[in-house]
Chains A and B, each alone.
Chain A
Amino acid sequence: MDKPVSVRLWSYRVGFGDCFLLRFAYRRFNRHVLIDFGTTKADARGGNQMKEIAEHIARTCNGKLDAIVATHRHRDHISGFAGRSWKIIRDLSPGLVVLPWTEHPDAAINAREAPDDAHEGFDLSSRRHVRSLFRMQEVARAVCEALRAEPPDDGLDAVGGPGEGDSRTERDWPGTGPRRSELPATGRFFSPALRKQLQFMGEDNLANAEAVKNLLSLPCEFVQFGSKAQQLTKLLPGVKVHVLGPPTLVQNQEISRQRPKDPDEFWHLVQLATERPAGAAKTLFPGARVLSHEAQPPETRWFIKRLNAERGYQLLELVRSLDKVLNNTSVILLFEACDKKLLFPGDAQIENWRYALCQKRIKKLLADVDVYKVGHHGSLNATPKTLWNGFIRKGSGKKPRRLKTFMSTLENLHGESVRETEVPRQKLVHALRTQSDLFSTQSLRRKEDFVKEFRLAALKSR
């Protein structure tokens, strides 16, 4: 039987996002698998290089891409499957697209359909879960629209960020006069830091209908924890593929012992609530008397300023929680080839990982991983401690066959270091750097260096 003789990896610098190309080389042919291709923020150094990256992928796989893995529907993982770069990828005639079960068209519920139908093997709660994902992206859209309605940043200081807590100076106390920037006429409400985070997260969570449609137009394999991934395996003879996530709702239920909660209902209301201000807000009480900004009584101004800021934190919190849910739909793949184990978990966070990690068998399977694609760009909750502590190949620089880690990330976009939620999380980066051979896309500095090639494995006899 055929089996690969070597494995190579190309890590592309996409800014904030993921893009990895795997080559399984056999004696007479090569097989190429592209894992994610997306960006939300093009790297300032490189500009938008998605087209160049697509061309590089085309050259590298010599005109034929065997499979695409789209771990989850976040923009920073699939935006390359739309627009100009898609034309290039499509011409590589990808034979298979691997997607999480949540993308299965039969699990979707359209707006007119009765919501209490099971369909084609998807029970009602699974379908509701899928619909709630759709709603979350609608919430993200409403948040982005709300931001666009904000006046532009005029460089004056506004109310502090969400990490501010209770600490404030005397002049911020109730009853103190407004600063120039807070006078009602200025009309700017969110601090620049808050705006930046809201915008970044909001945009990453926007639905990317074109990319999804493009991917679904190809032969697809939808997977969940425990799937055999038969089609992918067929394309990769001699490679063992394990799907370790995402779990199904039933699997999740097994371990959570939580009463089932209907997320569709919650997000439905959140969607309606966030969408409303754009449209019908002024008609909450059609006949009621309203005071203009100039007529705000002085005794209300401190509070109005605080409430405007509070509104911003609320939006940020909403976007954070939906971002997390979407990350947790990530496909987690473990490849075994050439006596090496390669782990690609997309943006899976703890809630996704939990089902796999509570099983002894899986923990054992993961212990001797050789290559780890760092989850969710190095965020604080996407490399579970249980997983990391279980890796036996990590260790000091001299360790033979030391763990290799790959991190695609961009600093200062996601989270805040004052809250210790920065991405990548410095504590994790430190562990990766000292305990493994870490490659970060941030180390590619020049414009033309948007990719780096690695030899991951080779059969010793060759």
Chain B
Amino acid sequence: MRGRPVGRMRKLRIVAQDPSVRLRGRILTAEVDVPAEELGPGPRGYRVHVIDYDASSRTLYAPLDYQDPSKDWTNEPGGEVPDDIILNDPGFHAQNVYALVMRTLARFEFALGRRVSWGFRSSGHQIKVAPHAFSDVNAFYSRRDEALLFGHFPSRDGSRTVFTCLSHDIVVHETTHALLDGLRTRYMEPSSPDQAAFHEGFADVVALLSVFSLPEVVQALMDLKFGDGGEGGTARPLSARDITFDELQKSVLTGLGKEFGREMDAIGRSALRHSVGLAPDAKLLQTPAYQEPHRRGEVLVAAIMRAFIKVWAERLEALVFDTSAKVVDRVRAAEEGARAADYLLTMVIRALDYCPPVHLVFGAYLSAMLTADYEIRPTDTYRFRHHLLDSFKKFGILPTTRGGAQGRWAPPKLRFNYERSRFESMQRDPDEVFRFVWENRRALGLADEGYTRILSVRPCIRVAPEDGFPLRETVVEVLQQVTLPAGELGSYEIEAPVGMQVDQPVMLIGGATVIFGEYGQVKYVIGDRVLDAPREEVQKKQSERLKSLWERGHFQRDTRDVHRFASIHRLRGLDAMTVAQEEW
């Protein structure tokens, strides 16, 4: 990482998946682009500060000095870093996490067309990252520590150390928790079982697609399945038989589950091993086992990864039939897979802007993906929208739209009053936005009883891949809350859960994500209001949420700890269940 970087991006070498994935005996690595910056020791950059402290042994490793030419692992001959350095140099570990966190951040910023903040209470800008935080079978994002903490633990036979900070999917998974927490702070709060599951599922999706977006990894997976032709030999090209949906599913997804991430099973990343192989079942989400958040999240992963393979298979098919030999070479096939993964990665992240500020359900996330993608690419060139819609349906998830075409959000029917607000300042000033929201509270369906706040105002510019034209939008989150004693819920047509005391205070929340177009016109209003007397289903949903929260023990005790990722991941590792209704 030597010297003064020139240009906007710099290349850094990372472990492609984890040290167990090897090519011809050596750990598979990959070169990735990260935003260039002037780094301090750590590395410590404008968004990430690596502090290599191990709390189990109370050891602070000296920070990586990026000025030291011997620590420039990118320009090693042949672009490879010796395995010994990868495994035994804490400085390389520091660089590896730095690169992956920055790459993920950059990926989010690219997809959303703007800067993305962390969700810390102190509104700090630099996340702390501890690559060897403790000797424990865990890794997690901690909001209160403003940090990503990666554990290390001995391998099963005790002969080596397994470093979670060297596992691509784990680092990206934790970083995604942190980024999502910054984008939708309320998603950590109690709501529906879907919302409880979303953080885990989404973090897994981003992690998997991030791994797949490296052609090196995709090719390694195919080599595992089809053989690599041996030392000096050439791998045989793929024929039409090899690239059907079923074959790709077997070679890539199942292969990934079998070969990759085996050592990480204990830390609860069963996504790699289970969710990708989950067979479509429209009833699955209704079964009791899938009420547990970590299980439920796997359904989201399975549905999205299925669409990914579908698209990839279609694209390879087209390639095969284009050539006279009716084959496609491995490198090309891998690139095609990585490109599809990369495109889908943009889609799943971009969708966040089109998600409601609170009470997310999987169907709403589906509508958000479809709408976000449609906005930037009106024709479904890759057929991702088609396959996502189909794949979600096979898992029993239907888009949550009210009359939108092809599962997308519908534009609002009501007219808004734009006369008294100045759009120019609405793009950055929450008070100006609030004025607009207040003026239009009827059209936006806000409840008079509610306390209303603007959570965020985010202008963004996204470039359409087709014609290179920018799409300008401003994303605003409006939140409403009302606190009522349980006894009063009935007068608002909301049912209090059976057994709840009448004086139990109940906080209801609701709100909307409002998307403004380039000229300040309202394009979409997404989400359920806190109360909405004319629309019975709003009250019905609030009743259902309360019932579900009541059953999951939310009103019995402080569930703050349960919502910490440290605990979520531990429970996932144990595949534990919760039985809050039986507790005191």
Contact = CB atoms under 8 A, between A and B. Distances in A.
The residue in B59, B62, B132 that gathers the most chain A C-beta atoms within 10 A of its C-beta is B59
Interface string A306-345: 1110110110011001000000000000000000000000
Interface in B519-559: 556-558
A353 B570 CA distance: 23
Interface in A339-370: 350-351, 353-354
B343 interface: no
B149 A307 contact: yes
Contacts of A296: 60
B436 interface: no
A291 B62 contact: yes
B133 interface: yes
A274 interface: yes
A273 B89 contact: no
Given A266-B137, A303-B51, A308-B55, A261 B575 contact: yes
Interface string A140-169: 000000000000000000000011111010
B567 interface: yes
Given A257-B289, A258-B575, A306-B145, A269 B154 contact: yes
B55 A310 contact: yes
Interface string B409-430: 0000000000000000000000
A425 interface: yes
Contact of B54 (A272, A273, A284, A321): A284
Interface residues of B, number: 68
Given A282-B57, A307-B53, A381-B584, A317 B90 contact: no
- The A contact surface, by secondary structure, is helix
Interface in B99-146: 121-122, 124, 128, 130, 132-138, 142-146
Contact of A162 (B121, B137, B161, B561): B561
Given A263-B574, A314-B138, A421 B557 contact: yes
Nearest to B132: A284
A414 to B, nearest CB: 14
Contacts of B124: 174-175
Contact of B153 (A273, A308, A420): A273
A42 to B, nearest CB: 27
B570 A281 contact: no
Nearest to A380: B584
Interface residues of A, number: 71
A138 B576 CA distance: 21
A314 B566 contact: yes
B151 interface: yes
Interface stretch (A2-10, A27-35, A71-79, A383-391): A383-391
Given A266-B574, A272-B153, A317-B566, A300 B60 contact: yes
Contacts of A460: none
Contact of A277 (B56, B88, B130, B158): B56
Nearest to B268: A266
A307 B143 CA distance: 12
A314 B576 CA distance: 17
B154 A266 contact: no
B55 A307 contact: yes
Given A266-B574, A310-B145, A304 B582 contact: no
Contacts of B133: 307, 310-311
Contact of A173 (B122, B128, B138): B122
A307 B574 contact: no
A296 B63 CA distance: 11
A385 B579 CA distance: 10
B144 A265 contact: no
Contact of B145 (A187, A303, A421): A303
A284 B561 contact: no
B207 interface: no
Contact of A257 (B134, B158, B288): B288
Contacts of B136: 270, 273-274, 314, 318
Interface string B268-290: 00000010000000000001110
Given A269-B266, A291-B61, A310-B149, A321 B583 contact: no
A418 interface: yes
A402 to B, nearest CB: 20
Contact of B60 (A281, A304, A317, A386): A304
B450 interface: no
B8 interface: no
A427 interface: yes
Contact of B137 (A166, A256, A273, A311): A273
B581 interface: yes
Contact of B53 (A174, A263, A273, A304): A304
A268 interface: yes
Nearest to B59: A290
A165 B560 contact: yes
A401 interface: no
A428 interface: yes
Interface in B44-102: 44, 49, 51, 53-63, 88-91
A114 interface: no
Contacts of A380: 557, 583-584
B577 interface: yes
A273 B60 contact: no
Given A174-B146, A300-B53, A384-B582, A285 B88 contact: yes
Contacts of B4: none
B53 A277 contact: no
B24 interface: no
B152 interface: yes
Contacts of A261: 574-575
A307 B147 contact: yes
Contacts of B147: 303, 306-307
B497 interface: no
Contacts of A383: 584
A55 B60 CA distance: 55
Contacts of A419: 557-558, 561
B38 to A, nearest CB: 16
Interface string A210-226: 00000000000000000
Contacts of A307: 53, 55, 130, 133-134, 145, 147, 149
A41 B405 CA distance: 67
Contacts of B91: 288
A321 B584 contact: no
A295 B63 CA distance: 12
A274 B90 CA distance: 21
B574 A317 contact: no
Contacts of B161: 284
A276 B54 contact: no
A272 B44 CA distance: 32
A180 interface: no
Contacts of B487: none
Contacts of B287: 257
A303 B128 contact: yes
A455 interface: no
B134 A314 contact: yes
B59 A281 contact: yes
Nearest to B582: A384
B182 interface: no
A446 interface: no
Contact of B135 (A168, A259, A273, A421): A273
Contacts of B88: 285, 287
7 contacts: A163-B561, A165-B560, A166-B144, A261-B574, A269-B153, A285-B90, A289-B62
Given A300-B60, A317-B566, 14 more contacts: A163-B561, A257-B289, A265-B266, A268-B156, A272-B153, A273-B151, A284-B54, A297-B63, A307-B53, A307-B133, A310-B145, A310-B566, A385-B584, A420-B557
Interface of B: 44, 49, 51, 53-63, 88-91, 121-122, 124, 128, 130, 132-138, 142-147, 149, 151-154, 156, 158, 161, 265-266, 274, 287-289, 556-558, 560-561, 566-567, 570, 573-577, 579, 581-584
Return the 5 tightest CB-CB contacts between A and B, nearest first: A281-B57, A420-B557, A311-B55, A273-B153, A289-B62
